[in-house]
A and B are shown apart, each in its own frame.
Chain A
Amino acid sequence: MPVGLSVGGALGDPSPSRPFRPSRYVPVSAATAFLVGATTLFLCFTCPWLSEKFSSFIPLYNVVVFLFTLANFCMATFMDPGVFPRAEEDEDKEDDFRAPLYKTVEVRGIQVRMKWCSTCRFYRPPRCSHCSVCDNCVEEFDHHCPWVNNCIGRRNYRYFFLFLLSLTVHIMDVFGFSLLYILHHTKQLDLVQSGVTMAVMCVAGLFFVPVAGLTGFHVVLVARGRTTNEQVTGKFRGGVNPFTHGCFKNIAHVLCSSQAPRYLGRLRKPQSVQVQPPFLRPPLSEAQLAAKVLDNGIQQSKSSLEIMESQSTDADPPPPPKPEHRYPGLPHTQNEECSLLTEAPPTPSLYKYRPAYSSPGKNHTASTHSSKMSRGNSMTESPSVPVTTGQPSYRSDPSLSSRGAAGCRGGAEGGRSGSGGLGGASAFGGRSYPSFTDTLLQSAAASCSSSLRSAHTAHNALGPLISEGTTSTSYKSLANQTRNGSLSYESLLTPSESPEFESAAHELSPPRPHPPHSLSTAAGAAPILGYTSPFLSAQQREGSLQACPAPLRPSPNRAFLRPISSPPSRAPPLSPRARSLGSPPPGPAPGHTPLGKSMSYGGGAELQHRPSSSGGGTSMPNNTVSFFLPPMATLEFLHAHPPFLCPFPFSVLFLSLRSSAVLFPALLLPCGHKDESVSVLSSTIKQNVANHNTHSHKPARGVKKVSGVGGTTYEISV
């Protein structure tokens, strides 16, 4: 991303000025020209006769429909789609090196992954995505539409949808009335009016098919409560969409909700409140007083305080043990406390930075201990993942593997995402997701990765005491650094083989980030996780292989994590595999484990789409459409924007896309048949994608149970 001067002084300017690319304006200019030009010709040449012959209501009606179409077109084109302003530095003060790339939250009972956006510097809210063309994160990102040269997101989806509807109606009207004219002038076809009318008819007829197809596609999306992005990346294939409220409510939400506010360009009122000491203090409770005695500036929960007290008779807590000296035999609860101690900021400068994302989790150790932060930090809350080294630390779900594969597929970003995906699903407590870090490191650079790998595997071998945070810490920072896609595709292939292994091993470690120095503990620990690790039991390998039949784990699209039993230290499991959204979210109820009904929905597919480059964005080759386009998604996307609708330069590019050859037959398939179209494509797609189909969308069949960390058992669809 070119760093330039910020344009505009508006609040939260989203991105620095981007280079002017005239090619981006070609489709929108063509669309405008066709729309306005054809309609004007129709109104000038055909309508006079129609108003004479039939009624003047006809031209009036056509004008109204045309104006409605144009108004929606303009709104879709010029309206801010819901761009998030870049996060300010303070929000991201948490050390990049210690923060995981993914954070899972539970949305109505379903695990959703939030990915760290290295460009915008925050964890993308659910349904948010980063558009590489616009270089912004957009709320409820649908797609980037080249015809309006704008992203379609929360704020302007309604206008885009209405534009499609009204354009379809308008095309049908123009075509119909032109046909009527021609049928009445069959003997006068040499007239100028007839010629123009025939030309208008041709244009209308030509555009009708793709526009109607796209309209139908979006009608289905609206009814299902999905975005184009979610549909083409197959996030909900065979699963439950946590964002749907039922057909009627979904439609109401699109059409009847109040216009969402823009986040950019708002006038920021100057802070008029003076904050001056002396400050009042609230009365302290007894517990707080007790905490104060032991508090030496380190944030601790009461439970961890008790642990500390039992450990040592000193009033002061022991200094945080270095990770490499940690004794593996300590009970899991120690991890929480230890990690707390280690994460105490050593030198508070003026700012004591707290990780934004972890405010509900990391800083509230009590909560992570006992109750379940149903969101924020993971599907499992507490670090109470016992060191079940004996357990096949199974790497949960296909999503992980899919992300691993996705990583293979996608190159730099894919690699990151792959690992991130793993991490996301494997998160146990806290917020770090160690598994992905391995993939990332491996993919980052062959030379340094090997040493890092051994470090990380060592971590895993040390089990729960080694915070996964150590391995995950570099992830976010690497994500930030490798925005330009230095990762190669090939380097990801190998690790993709066993993303399961990675996360399996990772799950042994508790979810606590640790300072990077813990990396040094590696020696003699488990070997590289990205590859077959001798540390993993045969059962683990088998489990993961079965879950992931092909060597390269695919499943870009879905990852449903369905633990059916929770670790003994947790609350009784919730109903497994809550397929419907009916089950109420566990909420903040203590002792609840979101695992019971967690179906992770995390955007595996999204991850894979980063063929290269920007850490935050999704780039599309040739800039044709800035949109996620895994090979499989190409079908859906091209369905959305059929190649033959494109202006000439783009049609060439479309044809060059891999799946275009198989596209046509599948183009007009209704959404329900996407699985078949996917299978059609799969043969033309790399093998790692083919794997996706095997277990992507049929959770009801071939479910394999694999156990994860702490006795949690997951069902994987095979």
Chain B
Amino acid sequence: MAETHSLQDLRQAAVASKVFVQRDYTSGTICKFQTKFPAELESRIDKVQFEETIQTLNNLYAEAEKLGGRSYLEGCLACLTAYTIFLCMETHYEKVLKKIAKFIQEQNEKIYAPLGLLLTDPIERGLRVVEITIFEDRSIGSR
């Protein structure tokens, strides 16, 4: 991808492969990702840690899509203002998405980057997959 070919990235490890964690549709069309541990990550990260990350993501998305009083009020307010409120106010979903982006960044910094992995925010893929980039581990050998 062009984005990774900047000068800055030359110092980064080379990308070895990518794993895509798909959506879990067993509960319908709500946004939920499979917590199944991909085989490619077996030697790179702890299974429990990975599942915890995905589960937290799922919980955050569930919060975003929750049909509660808050989203209802937001809808009513939008109707009353002929939807002009969307120009100034951030919707509930967007707020949670920001939270998710922050969470992913934190996870990357603290857990995944040291392991040679990188999580990509699923919103960039249309909430279809969680892309995990596996970087080449030159010290031990490419996997």
Contacts and interface: CB of A to CB of B under 8 A. Distances in A.
Interface of A: 11-12, 67-68, 71, 75, 84-85, 87-91, 93, 105-108, 112, 122, 125-127, 139-140, 158-159, 162, 242-243, 245, 249, 252-253, 255-261, 263, 266, 268-282, 284, 288, 291-292, 299, 301, 350-354, 356-357, 359-360, 363-365, 367, 373-376, 585, 587-588
B126 A12 contact: yes
B135 A125 contact: no
Contact of A257 (B1, B36, B67, B139): B67
A256 B71 contact: yes
B94 interface: yes
Nearest to B75: A256
B26 A258 contact: no
A273 B109 contact: yes
Contact of B43 (A67, A284, A373): A284
A89 B38 CA distance: 20
Contact of B21 (A108, A252, A292, A359): A359
Given A257-B71, A278-B137, A356 B26 contact: no
B57 interface: no
A277 B1 contact: no
* From A257, A272, A281, residue with most partner B Cβ within 10 Å: A257
Question: Nearest 8 A-B pairs (CB), nearest first?
Answer: A279-B116, A356-B20, A71-B82, A352-B17, A258-B71, A263-B126, A84-B126, A278-B139
A125 B23 CA distance: 9
B17 A351 contact: yes
B26 A259 contact: no
Interface string B42-66: 1111100100000000000000111
Given A126-B25, A272-B105, A12 B124 contact: yes
A281 B41 CA distance: 11
Contacts of B49: 282
Interface in B1-45: 1, 3-4, 11-29, 34-36, 38-40, 42-45
Contact of A279 (B83, B125, B137): B137
Given A112-B25, A279-B115, 14 more contacts: A91-B125, A122-B128, A125-B128, A256-B72, A257-B75, A261-B91, A275-B117, A277-B116, A279-B13, A282-B115, A354-B17, A357-B22, A360-B22, A375-B24
Contact of A350 (B15, B25, B71, B124): B15
A107 B25 contact: yes
Contact of B14 (A11, A270, A350): A350
B22 A257 contact: no
A257 B18 CA distance: 33
Nearest to B78: A259
B88 to A, nearest CB: 14
Contacts of B64: 258
A90 B1 contact: yes
Q: Is the interface of B mostly helix, strand, loop or mixed?
A: mixed
Interface residues of B, number: 77
B68 to A, nearest CB: 8
25 contacts: A12-B126, A85-B125, A85-B126, A90-B18, A105-B25, A107-B26, A107-B29, A125-B25, A126-B29, A159-B83, A252-B67, A256-B72, A257-B67, A258-B71, A258-B74, A261-B91, A268-B124, A272-B105, A273-B108, A273-B113, A274-B11, A275-B12, A277-B116, A350-B15, A351-B17
B75 A255 contact: yes
Contacts of B65: 257-258
Contacts of A93: 18
Contact of B67 (A253, A282, A364): A253
Contacts of A275: 12-13, 113, 116-118, 135
A270 to B, nearest CB: 8
* From A71, A88, A277, A279, residue with most partner B Cβ within 10 Å: A279
Contacts of A274: 11-12, 113
B44 A281 contact: yes
Contacts of A272: 105
Contacts of B131: 90-91
Given A91-B131, A258-B93, A275-B118, A140 B29 contact: yes
B139 A127 contact: no
B71 A360 contact: no
A299 B44 contact: no
B118 A363 contact: no
Given A256-B72, A257-B65, A277 B39 contact: no
A279 B139 contact: yes
* From A256, A258, A269, A273, residue with most partner B Cβ within 10 Å: A258
Given A87-B125, A277-B138, A363 B18 contact: no
B114 A282 contact: no
B25 A106 contact: yes
A261 B34 contact: no
Given A258-B65, A282-B43, A299-B39, A276 B17 contact: no
A291 B78 CA distance: 57
A20 to B, nearest CB: 27
A375 B38 contact: no
B25 to A, nearest CB: 5
Nearest to A362: B39
